[in-house]
Amino acid sequence: MKRLIFIFIIAFVLNFIWENLHFVLYDNYLGGPVSRFILLQATVADAFLIVLLSLPFLYKNYFKNKMWLIIIFGIIMAVFIEWFALYTNWWQYGPNMPIVPILKVGLTPMIQLGILGYFSLKLSNPHNCQM
């Protein structure tokens, strides 16, 4: 349980930084401006998603030595989230958002859960720090 809390804290910090750096690539959220409160909500949601993505890597032997797979799982999850959000007009990309051609989703939100999930899992490893 300690490690899950540690993963959440690390994921929260990393996502807070990420959200505050890339929000300029969005045009709006639910038709309005992207506020700091919305960025905080997104940060919490992303941290929870990373904890969920981490579960197999903590509790299933098959995944314990294949931590890099969280990158793939995170990207897949993010693509589905982006498709849903764009389809339902939760948010819209601004003109500077790099779009992944075939998938038609933004590059930065697509890689966010995978990359930050990997670093959250890696940094929470008891071999890397005292727990």
- pLDDT, one tens digit for every residue, the chain (131 residues): 789 999 999 999 999 999 999 999 999 888 888 889 999 999 999 999 999 999 999 999 999 889 999 999 999 999 999 999 999 999 999 999 999 999 999 999 999 999 999 999 999 987 665 43
Q: Tell me, yes or no, whether 130 lies in a domain.
A: no
The dihedral through the CA atoms of 83, 86, 91, 97 has a sign that is: positive
Answer yes or no: is 76 within a domain: yes
Stretch (H or E) spanning 28: strand 26-29
Q: Which domain holds residue 75?
A: 2-123
Please state at what angle helix 2-22 crosses helix 107-123, rounded to 10 degrees: 150
> How many structural domains does the chain have?
1
Residue 131 belongs to a domain: no
Give the number of C-alpha atoms closer than 13 A to the C-alpha of residue 63, restricted to the C-beta side.
17
124 in Cβ contact with 12 (< 8 Å): no
Coil, helix or strand for 111? helix
Question: Is residue 128 in a domain?
Answer: no
